[in-house]
A and B are shown apart, each in its own frame.
Chain A
Amino acid sequence: MPESKHKYFRITKEVGSIPLKVTGLLAFLLLWELLVTIFGNARTLIPSPSQIMIVFYTEIRSGIWHRIVFSSFTNYIVGVSAGSLLGIACGVIVALHARIGHMTEYLVRLLRPIPPIAWIPIAIIFLGITPISASFIISIGVFWVNFFATHSAIRGVGSELIDVAVVFGHNTFFYKFTKVILPAALPSILTGIKTGLGQGWMTVVAAELFGIPGMGQRMVEAAGLLETRVVFVYMFSIALLYGVSDTLFTFIQGRLLQWNR
């Protein structure tokens, strides 16, 4: 089958390029290490990669890292889950019902441009300095990403596929929705979820800056003490967690969309 051959070449190309990618990263880290060694970090406050690694190790050994990452991760999961589910559900409803679509159009235009961070004072007033506040802030950005992805995906399902259901006697809305509309919209919905997962990590730090336990709070505390090594540890922790969650989701997405080549 030619498609298998194509896939083989694609994988081979991917695997073949890994040494280059690793070399690029290592070269950057080496250059960084070298520059810090030459110029010293007392004046610039920029730690070398090896210094960051040592602090990283200390944070893990003391148990602080686990506790802080767990707090942030909980905020993130709650926020992302709520934002994704609500965004998808609202996107579906608004896309399927023209009247609701019209009724909410100006409301969406009004609320969409407000950045998640601008909701922080409102969250503090109504929800207090609690993890729920952080989850709320995270969920706002994720909600809009999923809302628009789902809305356009559902609206994009052509009537030609729905006609297929009708001519084969599947006339109920439930059948057409579950067996045709939803699967047809799935690739774009999953792309929305994936973008939302990234968006969530971007907001998590901002949401914790005002004192809710988590990486954001730890970074602000460390920055106050000019402990840039700790700040870098958590910056890279976020990158690492984002990389893991993105890779996992890409894998799930690939499994769910085997048919979409």
Chain B
Amino acid sequence: MTKTDKPPTAGGRSKAAIDPAAATLRKTMGDALVAIGRDRDEHAFALIYNYYAGRIKSFLMGKGMNEDTADELTQEIMLTVWRRAESYDPKKAAASTWLFTIARNRRIDYLRGNSRIEVELDDELLDIRTTESDTQARFVAQEQVADDIDAALAVLPAEQRQVMHLSYFRGMSHGAIANWLDLPIGTVKSRIRLAMQSVKSNLKGEDDVLERDDYLDSE
């Protein structure tokens, strides 16, 4: 189950270092999605496909989907990528984030028989404080944030990486992870929380309000 886990990077750095390969990959894939959307660029599509199709199939199989179904859904997802690439905005999200949300939603759709419930962006109640006023600042910061998140995740302790992997890849609930690993649920939740916070704390004051909030998680 930890086959796809990579061990945390060795070394005594106190601060996670930016991985140039990850940054290059992100740039390449982001540019490729933009090229598909703008120019129907088949070469760019092959680039995305060759890197992500096998990984998305593996992601789909993570939640117990059989190989034929996963293969079929992967093709469907990649067709969606080809057709909907115009809607990808590199200033809002990394290509991998965009692909993840498409694959995750399709997996939920298929396994559950109904769609994931999400915010509707034309909702009259939508709180637009940050989406509009801080948009420009966030656009500029996006690349830096993505670098920082990659760096933080690359050095995540193995036990935190394991629960994150089981959650995202296997789609297991925290309760199911606790059963699977034979750990108390509180331990699983605190590992998840630590992992989320290490990503957050690596984002130097990007959003100070985050630190002030009452998360109701005091014991």
Chains A and B belong together in one complex: no
